Amino acid sequence: MKVLKTLLPLLFACAVSAHAALPVPPAPSVAARAWLLVDVNSGRALAENAPDSRIEPASLTKLMTAYLSFSAIKEGRLKLDQTLPVSEKAWKAEGSRMFLDPRNPAKVDDLLKGMIVQSGNDACITLAEGIAGTEDGFAAMMNQQAKHLGMTGSHFVNATGLPDPQHYTTARDLARLASAVIRDFPEFYKYYSLKEFTYGGITQPNRNRLLWTDPAVDGVKTGHTESAGYCLIASAKRDDRRLLSVVLGTASDNARASESQKLLNYGFQFYETVKLYRANQPVTKLRIYKGTSSELAAGFARDFYVTVPRGSAQRLKAQIISKQPMLAPISKGQAVATLRLTLDGQPVGDYALAALTEVSVSGLIRRAWDSLMLML
């Protein structure tokens, strides 16, 4: 079986900057234990330090609690106007609270805002019990979802982020989780831009300071315990670009905001992200043998973006790599080739191309003819 390599003209699905490329300086120094800056659309990491080291997530845990809550609403297992009982465990929750009253059931919509804006541990436990019956059962769901999202360095034991030796994650996993919240639940992500929320006559502000200082920032979550330090996941959208910074273990509330802003500014200033192909757009067509069709279109299931130094996108080169001969049957979504991108001769990345349609096995006559063609 031979590997076929073909050059491919890049099909830009949007305008590409014609400005001269800017030299990219080293990423700024960040006063934190670990950090990561990623472009949400392309998934490329633009700056990092210890992104895979195990850390205590503190209230950043609530992103997973939110993800499962949003999923329950989307699947009809929970409704925004539904009320949930407040257990004694939730009422007595330590740490930050939205001050739920065990005598008064709380609306799911209020619980979401209490969890996201006020970082209420009582809200998290109430949602967890409403979805899974117990917080322990909910933690099992959290770990299942983490596995599904590819969060290989994480383990959860509660819905709040209260310290526990077996409750941990990484900066890379948190970036993956926050990106999934933004991507999968745009209708709920808007909650993360709320600057304050009032419940029971008590108004509490969102602890994400960047919501006040940078109009491009629209989320996502702060976290703090004595052992975890001050943490912040921040996301900003400027034009069509969205960046996400994860800053963990800073020394103060001010520091987590300023260090996050530093990373976001760096990413926007020195990099650009372009959409090369639309979802389900044929990137290439491959020869197929012994199938109901002799040709197979391959591409991406989602819009495909790439992040490169600002001003350099026009110098990208693409190459298609596929194993030949390719025989039916081929399933829709099956990886059938690789798109290899280079910039000025340096590798950018290899990206799997999927079959955009299904190709079934052909009849006997077609198979016999193709067998003869392969022999020749």
Q: pLDDT tens, 256-300? A: 999 999 999 999 999 999 999 999 999 999 999 888 999 999 999
For residue 362, what pLDDT is reported? 83
262: annotated binding-site residue? Answer: no
Per-residue pLDDT, 374: 76
Whether the predicted pLDDT of 324 surpasses 80: yes
Whole-angstrom Cα distance, residue 129 to residue 108?
A: 12
Let me know if 62 is a catalytic residue: yes
Is 113 a known active-site residue?
no
Tokens of 144: 């299942």
C-alpha 161/C-alpha 95 separation (Å) is: 10
Average pLDDT over residues 363-368: 81
State the pLDDT at residue 375: 84
- Residue 1: pLDDT band (50, 70, 90) is very low
Query: What per-residue confidence (pLDDT) applies to 361?
Result: 86
Catalytic residue, chosen from 42, 69, 119, 235, is 119
The single residue of 59, 96, 260, 362 carrying the catalytic annotation is 59
pLDDT grade for 309, boundaries at 50, 70 and 90: very high
Of 324-333, 339-348, 367-376, least confident by mean pLDDT is: 367-376
For tokens 């912040």, what's the residue?
232
Q: Is the pLDDT assigned to residue 213 strictly greater than 90?
A: yes
pLDDT of residue 15: 40
| Residues 313 and 17 sit within 8 Å (Cβ to Cβ) | yes
Is 6 a residue whose pLDDT tops 70? Answer: no
Which residue is catalytic, options 62, 113, 262, 290? 62
Give the mean model confidence (pLDDT) for residues 222-233. 97
The H or E element spanning position 4 is strand 2-8
Query: Domains of the chain (ranges plus CATH)?
Result: 2-15+276-375 (2.60.410.10), 34-250 (3.40.710.10)
Share of the chain above pLDDT 90, in %: 87
Q: Report whether 305 contacts 39 (CB < 8 A).
A: yes
pLDDT-derived band at 21, boundaries 50, 70, 90: low
- Is 119 an annotated catalytic residue? yes
How high is the pLDDT of residue 20? 53
Q: What average pLDDT does the segment 137-145 reach? A: 98
Give Cβ neighbours of residue 39 (< 8 Å, ≥ 6 apart): 46, 241, 242, 243, 244, 267, 271, 273, 305, 307
In the predicted model, what is the mean pLDDT of residues 248-263? 98
pLDDT at position 17, please?
44
- Give the pairing type, strands 2-8 and 316-324: antiparallel
- Chain mean pLDDT for the chain: 93
19-28, 35-44, 248-257, 305-314: least confidently modelled range:
19-28
User: In this structure, what is the dihedral angle of CA atoms 277, 240, 146, 85, given to the nearest 10 degrees?
Assistant: -130
Report pLDDT for 322.
Answer: 93
pLDDT of 366 reads 78
**pLDDT single digits (tens) 166-179:** 999 999 999 999 99
